[in-house]
Amino acid sequence: MKTGIVKDWRYMEHNMGAFHVENPKRIEAIYQMVEKEISFPYLEIEPRLALEEEIEMVHSSSYLNVIRETSGKDRVILDPDTVTSPRSYEIALLAAGGLLKAIDTIMEGKIQNGFALVRPPGHHAETSRAMGFCFFNNVAIGAEYLLKKYGLHRILIVDWDLHHGNGTQHSFYDRNDILYFSTHQFPHYPGTGYWDETGKEKGEGFTTNVPLSSGKANEDYLYIFKKILAPIAAIYKPEFILVSAGFDIYQDDPLGGMRVSEIGFGALTSELLSLAHQFCDDRILFTLEGGYDLRGLQQGIKQVLLHIGGEGEKSDIKAKISPATERELAPIFETQTKFWKI
Protein backbone atom coordinates (compact mmCIF):
# COMPACT_ATOMS: atom_id res chain seq x y z
CA MET A 1 0.00 0.00 0.00
CA LYS A 2 1.34 3.41 -0.97
CA THR A 3 -1.49 5.59 0.32
CA GLY A 4 -3.01 6.28 3.73
CA ILE A 5 -6.35 7.88 4.56
CA VAL A 6 -7.14 9.44 7.93
CA LYS A 7 -10.77 8.64 8.59
CA ASP A 8 -12.80 8.72 11.82
CA TRP A 9 -16.54 9.24 12.24
CA ARG A 10 -15.91 11.25 15.40
CA TYR A 11 -15.17 14.22 13.13
CA MET A 12 -18.94 14.57 12.77
CA GLU A 13 -19.23 15.47 16.46
CA HIS A 14 -18.10 19.07 15.91
CA ASN A 15 -21.25 20.95 14.90
CA MET A 16 -21.55 24.72 14.43
CA GLY A 17 -25.27 24.60 13.68
CA ALA A 18 -27.77 23.07 11.29
CA PHE A 19 -27.48 25.90 8.77
CA HIS A 20 -23.70 26.37 8.89
CA VAL A 21 -21.96 25.46 5.63
CA GLU A 22 -19.09 23.78 7.50
CA ASN A 23 -21.23 21.03 8.97
CA PRO A 24 -20.97 17.29 9.70
CA LYS A 25 -22.66 16.40 6.41
CA ARG A 26 -19.40 17.29 4.66
CA ILE A 27 -17.42 14.50 6.29
CA GLU A 28 -20.37 12.11 6.07
CA ALA A 29 -20.58 12.58 2.30
CA ILE A 30 -16.83 12.13 1.90
CA TYR A 31 -16.68 8.94 3.97
CA GLN A 32 -19.66 7.45 2.13
CA MET A 33 -17.82 8.05 -1.14
CA VAL A 34 -14.61 6.49 0.18
CA GLU A 35 -16.40 3.38 1.42
CA LYS A 36 -18.38 2.87 -1.79
CA GLU A 37 -16.05 4.08 -4.53
CA ILE A 38 -12.41 3.69 -3.44
CA SER A 39 -11.45 0.12 -4.23
CA PHE A 40 -7.66 0.28 -4.36
CA PRO A 41 -5.87 -0.93 -1.21
CA TYR A 42 -5.03 1.83 1.26
CA LEU A 43 -4.03 2.06 4.89
CA GLU A 44 -6.79 3.49 7.07
CA ILE A 45 -5.07 5.67 9.66
CA GLU A 46 -6.72 6.01 13.04
CA PRO A 47 -6.14 9.55 14.31
CA ARG A 48 -4.92 10.47 17.75
CA LEU A 49 -5.44 13.59 19.84
CA ALA A 50 -2.74 16.17 19.30
CA LEU A 51 -0.81 16.93 22.48
CA GLU A 52 -1.08 20.40 23.94
CA GLU A 53 2.64 21.00 23.37
CA GLU A 54 2.12 20.12 19.71
CA ILE A 55 -0.67 22.69 19.40
CA GLU A 56 1.59 25.22 21.13
CA MET A 57 4.20 24.86 18.38
CA VAL A 58 1.90 27.24 16.46
CA HIS A 59 -0.66 28.62 18.92
CA SER A 60 -0.24 30.53 22.18
CA SER A 61 -0.97 28.78 25.46
CA SER A 62 -3.55 31.44 26.34
CA TYR A 63 -5.43 30.75 23.10
CA LEU A 64 -5.28 27.00 23.72
CA ASN A 65 -6.88 27.66 27.10
CA VAL A 66 -9.67 29.65 25.46
CA ILE A 67 -10.55 26.74 23.18
CA ARG A 68 -10.16 24.18 25.97
CA GLU A 69 -12.61 26.09 28.15
CA THR A 70 -15.35 25.65 25.54
CA SER A 71 -15.45 21.90 26.29
CA GLY A 72 -18.91 20.77 27.36
CA LYS A 73 -20.54 24.11 26.59
CA ASP A 74 -23.42 24.17 24.14
CA ARG A 75 -22.24 27.09 22.06
CA VAL A 76 -19.39 29.59 22.30
CA ILE A 77 -19.09 32.21 19.55
CA LEU A 78 -15.42 32.83 18.71
CA ASP A 79 -15.96 34.98 15.64
CA PRO A 80 -18.99 35.66 13.38
CA ASP A 81 -18.29 32.47 11.40
CA THR A 82 -16.78 30.21 14.02
CA VAL A 83 -18.61 28.68 16.99
CA THR A 84 -18.06 25.66 19.18
CA SER A 85 -20.21 22.75 20.27
CA PRO A 86 -19.60 20.63 23.39
CA ARG A 87 -16.90 18.42 21.81
CA SER A 88 -15.31 20.92 19.40
CA TYR A 89 -12.09 21.22 21.42
CA GLU A 90 -11.56 17.46 21.43
CA ILE A 91 -12.41 17.10 17.75
CA ALA A 92 -10.08 19.97 16.82
CA LEU A 93 -7.29 18.13 18.67
CA LEU A 94 -8.26 15.01 16.72
CA ALA A 95 -8.02 16.92 13.43
CA ALA A 96 -4.50 18.14 14.13
CA GLY A 97 -3.54 14.79 15.60
CA GLY A 98 -4.87 12.95 12.57
CA LEU A 99 -2.54 14.94 10.35
CA LEU A 100 0.40 14.25 12.68
CA LYS A 101 -0.38 10.52 12.71
CA ALA A 102 -0.36 10.53 8.91
CA ILE A 103 2.99 12.34 8.90
CA ASP A 104 4.45 9.68 11.20
CA THR A 105 3.12 6.92 8.96
CA ILE A 106 4.76 8.49 5.90
CA MET A 107 8.05 9.26 7.64
CA GLU A 108 8.22 5.69 8.99
CA GLY A 109 8.02 4.46 5.39
CA LYS A 110 4.75 2.58 5.81
CA ILE A 111 3.14 4.63 3.01
CA GLN A 112 4.34 7.21 0.48
CA ASN A 113 1.47 9.65 0.62
CA GLY A 114 -1.90 10.28 2.17
CA PHE A 115 -5.01 12.35 2.67
CA ALA A 116 -6.14 13.48 6.13
CA LEU A 117 -9.93 13.63 5.77
CA VAL A 118 -10.42 15.66 8.92
CA ARG A 119 -12.43 18.56 10.25
CA PRO A 120 -12.58 21.27 11.47
CA PRO A 121 -10.32 22.86 8.85
CA GLY A 122 -7.34 24.92 9.90
CA HIS A 123 -5.66 27.34 7.53
CA HIS A 124 -7.40 30.52 8.78
CA ALA A 125 -6.52 29.90 12.44
CA GLU A 126 -4.04 32.49 13.71
CA THR A 127 -1.64 32.12 16.63
CA SER A 128 -4.19 33.53 19.07
CA ARG A 129 -7.43 33.67 17.12
CA ALA A 130 -10.05 31.33 15.70
CA MET A 131 -11.57 32.47 12.43
CA GLY A 132 -13.08 31.25 9.19
CA PHE A 133 -14.42 27.95 10.65
CA CYS A 134 -10.90 27.11 11.93
CA PHE A 135 -9.64 26.46 15.48
CA PHE A 136 -6.15 24.96 15.22
CA ASN A 137 -4.00 25.39 12.13
CA ASN A 138 -3.58 21.73 11.22
CA VAL A 139 -1.19 22.17 8.31
CA ALA A 140 1.03 24.67 10.16
CA ILE A 141 1.24 22.32 13.15
CA GLY A 142 2.16 19.53 10.74
CA ALA A 143 4.94 21.59 9.19
CA GLU A 144 6.41 22.43 12.60
CA TYR A 145 6.18 18.77 13.58
CA LEU A 146 8.19 17.73 10.52
CA LEU A 147 10.91 20.22 11.38
CA LYS A 148 11.10 19.45 15.09
CA LYS A 149 10.55 15.68 15.21
CA TYR A 150 12.18 14.63 11.97
CA GLY A 151 14.80 17.34 11.50
CA LEU A 152 13.68 18.37 8.03
CA HIS A 153 14.80 21.77 6.74
CA ARG A 154 12.53 22.62 3.78
CA ILE A 155 8.77 22.10 3.80
CA LEU A 156 6.53 23.24 0.93
CA ILE A 157 2.91 24.06 1.79
CA VAL A 158 0.62 24.34 -1.24
CA ASP A 159 -2.79 25.88 -0.52
CA TRP A 160 -5.32 25.70 -3.36
CA ASP A 161 -8.36 26.56 -1.21
CA LEU A 162 -10.62 29.31 -2.54
CA HIS A 163 -9.70 31.47 0.46
CA HIS A 164 -6.24 32.66 1.40
CA GLY A 165 -4.69 30.80 4.32
CA ASN A 166 -3.88 33.85 6.39
CA GLY A 167 -3.04 31.83 9.49
CA THR A 168 -0.58 29.60 7.68
CA GLN A 169 1.10 32.57 6.00
CA HIS A 170 1.47 34.48 9.25
CA SER A 171 2.89 31.43 11.05
CA PHE A 172 5.96 31.36 8.81
CA TYR A 173 6.18 34.83 7.27
CA ASP A 174 9.68 35.57 8.58
CA ARG A 175 11.16 32.10 7.99
CA ASN A 176 12.78 30.23 5.12
CA ASP A 177 12.38 26.65 6.35
CA ILE A 178 8.77 26.62 5.17
CA LEU A 179 7.71 27.90 1.76
CA TYR A 180 4.04 28.85 1.53
CA PHE A 181 2.38 28.90 -1.91
CA SER A 182 -1.26 29.96 -2.22
CA THR A 183 -3.74 30.38 -5.05
CA HIS A 184 -6.96 32.08 -3.93
CA GLN A 185 -9.88 34.19 -5.10
CA PHE A 186 -9.22 37.88 -4.50
CA PRO A 187 -10.68 40.11 -3.24
CA HIS A 188 -12.39 37.58 -1.03
CA TYR A 189 -12.40 36.49 2.59
CA PRO A 190 -10.17 37.03 4.58
CA GLY A 191 -8.75 39.89 2.48
CA THR A 192 -5.10 38.85 2.77
CA GLY A 193 -2.80 37.26 0.20
CA TYR A 194 -1.97 40.08 -2.19
CA TRP A 195 0.85 39.37 -4.63
CA ASP A 196 3.28 41.70 -2.83
CA GLU A 197 3.01 39.74 0.43
CA THR A 198 6.24 37.78 -0.02
CA GLY A 199 7.63 37.41 3.51
CA LYS A 200 9.94 39.50 5.63
CA GLU A 201 13.50 39.33 6.98
CA LYS A 202 14.99 35.90 6.26
CA GLY A 203 11.55 34.77 5.09
CA GLU A 204 11.48 37.26 2.24
CA GLY A 205 10.65 35.39 -0.94
CA PHE A 206 9.35 32.31 0.86
CA THR A 207 5.69 33.31 0.60
CA THR A 208 4.20 33.14 -2.88
CA ASN A 209 0.69 34.49 -3.28
CA VAL A 210 -1.28 34.13 -6.51
CA PRO A 211 -4.48 36.17 -6.01
CA LEU A 212 -7.01 35.50 -8.75
CA SER A 213 -10.24 37.05 -9.93
CA SER A 214 -13.23 34.72 -10.20
CA GLY A 215 -13.87 32.41 -13.13
CA LYS A 216 -10.55 30.55 -13.25
CA ALA A 217 -10.84 27.02 -14.59
CA ASN A 218 -8.76 23.84 -14.80
CA GLU A 219 -6.44 25.23 -17.46
CA ASP A 220 -5.66 28.37 -15.47
CA TYR A 221 -4.76 26.50 -12.29
CA LEU A 222 -2.63 23.97 -14.14
CA TYR A 223 -0.78 26.81 -15.87
CA ILE A 224 -0.05 28.45 -12.51
CA PHE A 225 1.19 25.17 -11.04
CA LYS A 226 3.44 24.49 -14.03
CA LYS A 227 4.74 28.01 -14.67
CA ILE A 228 5.01 29.45 -11.15
CA LEU A 229 4.92 26.68 -8.54
CA ALA A 230 7.03 24.06 -10.34
CA PRO A 231 10.03 26.32 -11.10
CA ILE A 232 10.07 27.62 -7.52
CA ALA A 233 9.87 24.08 -6.13
CA ALA A 234 12.71 23.01 -8.41
CA ILE A 235 14.96 25.61 -6.81
CA TYR A 236 13.69 25.21 -3.25
CA LYS A 237 13.82 21.38 -3.38
CA PRO A 238 11.33 20.60 -0.60
CA GLU A 239 11.82 17.55 1.57
CA PHE A 240 8.08 17.13 2.17
CA ILE A 241 4.96 18.64 0.58
CA LEU A 242 1.85 19.47 2.61
CA VAL A 243 -1.31 20.43 0.72
CA SER A 244 -4.16 22.51 2.13
CA ALA A 245 -6.76 21.02 -0.18
CA GLY A 246 -9.89 23.14 -0.34
CA PHE A 247 -12.64 22.03 -2.70
CA ASP A 248 -14.44 25.37 -2.71
CA ILE A 249 -12.76 26.14 -6.06
CA TYR A 250 -15.16 23.53 -7.49
CA GLN A 251 -17.39 24.94 -10.22
CA ASP A 252 -20.62 24.61 -8.23
CA ASP A 253 -19.41 25.59 -4.76
CA PRO A 254 -21.88 27.97 -3.06
CA LEU A 255 -19.12 30.16 -1.58
CA GLY A 256 -16.88 30.31 -4.61
CA GLY A 257 -16.56 31.76 -8.04
CA MET A 258 -14.06 29.40 -9.64
CA ARG A 259 -14.71 26.76 -12.31
CA VAL A 260 -12.50 23.79 -11.43
CA SER A 261 -14.05 20.42 -12.29
CA GLU A 262 -13.54 16.99 -10.77
CA ILE A 263 -10.86 16.09 -13.31
CA GLY A 264 -9.20 19.42 -12.63
CA PHE A 265 -8.46 18.30 -9.08
CA GLY A 266 -6.91 15.17 -10.50
CA ALA A 267 -4.70 17.19 -12.83
CA LEU A 268 -3.49 19.43 -10.00
CA THR A 269 -2.79 16.38 -7.86
CA SER A 270 -0.81 14.79 -10.66
CA GLU A 271 1.34 17.91 -10.93
CA LEU A 272 2.03 17.89 -7.18
CA LEU A 273 2.83 14.17 -7.25
CA SER A 274 5.42 14.88 -9.92
CA LEU A 275 7.08 17.47 -7.68
CA ALA A 276 7.00 15.08 -4.73
CA HIS A 277 8.61 12.38 -6.85
CA GLN A 278 11.36 14.70 -8.05
CA PHE A 279 12.29 16.26 -4.73
CA CYS A 280 10.92 14.48 -1.65
CA ASP A 281 10.93 10.73 -2.20
CA ASP A 282 7.21 10.88 -3.04
CA ARG A 283 6.35 12.23 0.41
CA ILE A 284 3.19 14.31 0.10
CA LEU A 285 0.21 14.68 2.40
CA PHE A 286 -3.12 16.36 1.65
CA THR A 287 -5.38 17.73 4.36
CA LEU A 288 -8.99 18.82 3.98
CA GLU A 289 -9.77 22.52 4.20
CA GLY A 290 -12.89 24.02 2.60
CA GLY A 291 -15.46 22.81 0.09
CA TYR A 292 -19.20 23.15 0.59
CA ASP A 293 -20.87 21.47 -2.37
CA LEU A 294 -21.25 17.85 -1.32
CA ARG A 295 -20.91 16.43 -4.80
CA GLY A 296 -17.86 18.61 -5.41
CA LEU A 297 -16.31 17.31 -2.20
CA GLN A 298 -17.03 13.70 -3.09
CA GLN A 299 -15.86 13.77 -6.67
CA GLY A 300 -12.95 16.16 -6.15
CA ILE A 301 -11.57 14.10 -3.28
CA LYS A 302 -12.19 10.91 -5.23
CA GLN A 303 -9.95 12.23 -8.01
CA VAL A 304 -7.22 13.19 -5.54
CA LEU A 305 -7.38 9.76 -3.93
CA LEU A 306 -7.31 7.92 -7.25
CA HIS A 307 -4.22 9.83 -8.31
CA ILE A 308 -2.27 9.45 -5.08
CA GLY A 309 -3.25 5.77 -5.05
CA GLY A 310 -1.88 5.29 -8.57
CA GLU A 311 -5.31 4.73 -10.12
CA GLY A 312 -5.97 8.15 -11.65
CA GLU A 313 -6.44 8.60 -15.36
CA LYS A 314 -4.21 11.02 -17.23
CA SER A 315 -6.20 14.08 -18.21
CA ASP A 316 -6.03 16.01 -21.45
CA ILE A 317 -6.22 19.39 -19.70
CA LYS A 318 -3.82 21.90 -21.24
CA ALA A 319 -2.00 24.49 -19.17
CA LYS A 320 -3.13 27.68 -20.85
CA ILE A 321 -4.47 31.11 -19.95
CA SER A 322 -6.30 33.94 -21.66
CA PRO A 323 -4.67 37.30 -22.42
CA ALA A 324 -6.67 38.81 -19.56
CA THR A 325 -5.32 36.24 -17.10
CA GLU A 326 -1.82 36.76 -18.48
CA ARG A 327 -2.11 40.44 -17.56
CA GLU A 328 -3.49 39.48 -14.17
CA LEU A 329 -0.49 37.26 -13.47
CA ALA A 330 2.12 39.72 -14.77
CA PRO A 331 2.79 41.42 -11.39
CA ILE A 332 3.12 38.01 -9.75
CA PHE A 333 5.79 36.94 -12.24
CA GLU A 334 7.51 40.31 -11.87
CA THR A 335 7.53 40.00 -8.08
CA GLN A 336 8.61 36.37 -7.91
CA THR A 337 11.48 36.77 -10.40
CA LYS A 338 13.18 38.87 -7.73
CA PHE A 339 13.53 35.69 -5.68
CA TRP A 340 13.28 32.76 -8.10
CA LYS A 341 14.12 32.01 -11.72
CA ILE A 342 10.67 31.47 -13.15
Measured between alpha carbons, how far is 255 from 36 in angstroms, rounded to an integer? 27
Measured between alpha carbons, how far is 19 from 155 in angstroms, rounded to an integer? 37
Measured between alpha carbons, how far is 247 from 263 in angstroms, rounded to an integer? 12
List of E strands, the chain: 3-6, 43-45, 76-79, 82-84, 113-116, 155-159, 178-185, 207-212, 240-245, 284-288
Active site residue 124: yes
Looking at residue 158, what DSSP letter applies?
E
Q: Which amino acid is at 128?
A: S
Task: Please give the distance of CA 13 from its chain centroid, rounded to a whole number.
Answer: 21
Q: Which of 59, 123, 124, 164 is catalytic?
A: 124
Q: Which residues have a Cβ under 8 Å from the Cβ of 250 and sit 6 or more positions away?
A: 256, 258, 260, 261, 262, 265, 291, 293, 296, 297, 300
Positions marked catalytic: 124
